[in-house]
Amino acid sequence: MSDSAPVLSARDLRRDYPMGESPVHALRGVSLEVAAGDYVAIVGPSGCGKSTLLNLLGAIDRPTGGTVAIRGEPVERLSDRERTRFRLLHIGFVFQRFYLMPALTAGENVELPLAEAGMSRAERKARARELLTYVGLGARVTHRPTQLSGGEQQRVAIARALANRPALLLCDEPTGELDAHTGAEMIALFERLNADGTTLVVVTHDEDLAAAAKRVVHMRDGGVVSDTRVR
């Protein structure tokens, strides 16, 4: 464990989905603590609860039981409006399918959370260009998602996730839609992000991506079966 104060602290998280008379227990009391600057990979077979856990950690779903605190703020106590604002300012999301706004340019996609945070037009344009340059797409600011490759779209998604300097970057299968070469570039980008101070939690099936993390959490049947610091 890192000596830094935890950015994320989850205690006894449980998530049940109503499914007829017998609910599905997707998470069965998971506890997890992530320190600032850490890089955690969550791995496990399909259906073991990885994405469910990530949704709860990112405050886009509510747990059936347990607590999640980010930077000491218990997010389950926040109202929907407060949680939305909290996600905007403190959590970055990267999805397997990129989920960029197809009608917006790469720059406008990155500007979206900045505009929502109230940043001026000039400032957010400068910030979007800076972020796109950081992920290697400084020359593609005005391109639309359909004009970008899968790897480039995922880089735009990462730039968007970093827009408001979040405390935590949550990634759900970020290399799942990419070929091996592009996946390797993405792994290198995540390492650079972490080296530059970003706290990362990555859900993945990709062994190479998991191997790049500092810590690997194995899950099975809705629970954590091992939590190993590898570097």
Alpha carbon 66 to chain centroid, angstroms:
20
Q: Does 79 bind other proteins (CB under 8 A)?
A: no
Near other proteins by CB under 8 A: residue from 6, 44, 49, 58: 58
Taking CB under 8 A as the binding criterion, the range among 58-66, 126-134, 185-193, 208-216 that sits at the site for other proteins is 58-66
Binding mask of the shown chain, residues 94 to 113, with x at each position contacting other proteins by CB under 8 A: -xxx-x-xxxx---x--xxx
Contacts to other proteins from residues 115-134, by CB under 8 A: 115-117
CB crowding 146-178: b at 16 or more within 10 Å, else e: eebebbbbbbbbbbbbbbbebbbbbbbbbbbbb
Tell me the two tokens of residue 3: 């000596």
Query: Would you say 202 or 212 has its CB closer to other proteins?
Result: 202
Query: Would you say 66 or 227 has its CB closer to other proteins?
Result: 66
Tell me the two tokens of residue 216: 């690997």
Pick the closest to residue 27 from 72, 69, 74, 62 (CA basis).
62
Query: Would you say 2 or 84 has its CB closer to other proteins?
Result: 84
Beta-ladder partners of 92? 169
Backbone angles phi and psi of 55, in degrees to 5: -60, -40
> What residues make contact with other proteins under the rule CB under 8 A?
51-52, 55, 58, 60-61, 80-81, 84-89, 91-93, 95-97, 99, 101-104, 108, 111-113, 115-117, 160-161, 164
